Amino acid sequence: MGNRKEKRISIRELSDREFFYGHKACPGCGGSLALRLALKVLGERSYAVVPAGCMSAVGFIFPQMAFTCNAIISTFPGTASMLSGVAAGARALGIKDFHAVGFAGDGGTADIGFQALSGAIDRHDKIIYICYDNEAYMNTGVQKSGLTPLRARTTTSPAGKRLKGAVTHKKPMFEIVAAHGIDYAATASVGYPLDYLRKLDYASKVDGTSYIHVFAPCPVGWGYDTSDTVSVAKNAVDCGLWYLAEFSDDKFTLNHKPAAFSSVGDYLLGQSRFHHLGEEDVKDIVAQRDARWSRILREWSFCDQ
Amino acid sequence: MLGQKAFLSGNEAVAAGVRLARPHVIAAYPITPQTTVIERLAEMVEDESLKAEYLHVESEHSALSACIGASAVGARTFTATSSQGLLYMAECLHYASGGRFPVVMMNANRSLALPWNIYGDQRDSLSLLDCGWIQVYAEDAQESLDLIIQGYAVAEHSDVLTPMMINLDGFVITHTYELVSLPAQQDVDAFLPPFRTVNKMDLDHPMSLAFTAGPAYNQAFKQLQHQAVLAASKVILETEERFGQLFGRYYPGLLETLFCDDAETILVTLGSVAGTVRPVVERLRSLGERVGLVRIRYMRPFPEAEIRKALSGAKAVGVLEKDISFGYEGTVFTNVNSALMRAKVMPPRLLNFVGGLGGKDISAIDIERLFLRLKSPDDGETVEFI
The predicted-structure confidence for A147-180, as pLDDT tens digits, reads as follows 999 999 999 999 999 999 999 999 999 999 999 9
- Domain end point (choices B180, B213, B247): B247
As a whole number of angstroms, the distance between CA A170 and CA A182 comes to: 21
Same domain, B331 and B215: no
pLDDT in tens, B156-206: 999 999 999 999 999 999 999 999 999 999 999 999 999 999 999 999 999
Domain boundary among B247, B265, B288: B247
**How many cross-chain Cβ pairs, A to B, lie less than 8 Å apart?**
159
B208 vs A44, A65, A119: nearest CB: A65
Q: Quote the pLDDT of residue A7.
A: 61
What letters, b where the CB count within 10 A reaches 16 and e where it falls short, cover A247-273?
A: bbeeebbbbbeeeebeebbebbebbeb
Co-location of B352 and B214 in the same domain: no
Decide if A83 and B201 are in contact by the 8 Å CB cutoff: no
Last residue of a domain, one of B247, B275, B299: B247
* Contacts with B, A 113-132, CB within 8 Å: 115-116, 118-119, 122-123, 125
Within this chain, do residues B168 and B239 fall inside the same structural domain, yes or no? yes
- Note whether A78 contacts B202, CB cutoff 8 Å: no
State whether B186 and B264 are in the same domain: no
Structure confidence by residue, pLDDT tens digits, A230-251: 999 999 999 999 999 999 999 9
For B130, the domain range is 4-247
Q: What is the pTM of this model?
A: 0.97
The answer to whether B207 contacts A70, with C-beta atoms less than 8 Å apart, is yes
C-alpha A83/C-alpha A73 separation (Å) is 11
Residues B96 and B218 in one domain: yes
Separation CA B31–CA B64 (nearest Å) = 14
Strands B134-137 and B298-300 turn out to be antiparallel
- Pair B210, B269 in one domain: no
Instruction: Report whether B4 contacts B170 (CB < 8 A).
Output: no
Q: Total domain count for chain B?
A: 2
Q: How many structural domains comprise chain A?
A: 1
- Tell me which residue in A73, A77, A85 faces B70 most closely, judged by beta carbons: A85
Question: What is the rounded average pLDDT of the residues A268-291?
Answer: 97
Q: Phi then psi for B269, rounded to 5 degrees?
A: -135, 170
* Positions of chain B with pLDDT lower than 50, given as ranges: 1
Whole-angstrom distance, CA of residue B139 vs CA of residue B152: 19
Q: Which CATH number belongs to the domain containing residue A151 in this structure? A: 3.40.50.970
In a domain? residue A23: no
Q: Are B143 and B13 within one domain? A: yes
CATH number at residue B333: 3.40.50.920
Average pLDDT, chain A: 95
pLDDT score for B353: 98
The SS3 call for residue A205 is coil
Are the Cβ atoms of A116 and B56 closer than 8 angstroms?
no
Residues B27 and B162 in one domain: yes
**Going by C-beta distance under 8 Å and a sequence separation of 6 or more, which residues neighbour residue A188?**
A195, A196, A199, A212, A213, A214, A215, A244
Question: Which site among B22, B62, B67, B95 would you substitute to test the A interface, given the most A Cβ atoms closer than 10 Å to its Cβ?
Answer: B62
Per-residue pLDDT tens digits for B42-81: 999 999 999 999 999 999 999 999 999 999 999 999 999 9
Domain with A157 in it: 28-302
Same domain, B272 and B173: no
Would you list the DSSP string of B190-243?
A: HHSPPP--SSS--SSS--EES-B--TTTHHHHHHHHHHHHHHHHHHHHHHHHHH
Query: Which among B73, B206, B212 is the nearest to A61, CB-wise?
Result: B212
Which residues on chain B are in Cβ contact (under 8 Å) with A98? 203
How many angstroms separate the CA of residue B45 from the nearest CA in chain A? 13
Measured CA to CA, the distance from residue B273 to residue B71 in angstroms comes to 34
Asked, for residue A278, whether it belongs to a domain, the answer is yes
Q: With an 8 Å Cβ cutoff, are A72 and B25 in contact?
A: no
- CA–CA dist B288, A264 (Å, integer): 92
CA distance A113 to chain B (A): 10
pLDDT of residue A305: 62
Q: Report ipTM (2 d.p.).
A: 0.96
Q: Which of A17, A67, A70, A76 to mutate to test the interface with B (most CBs of B within 10 A)?
A: A70
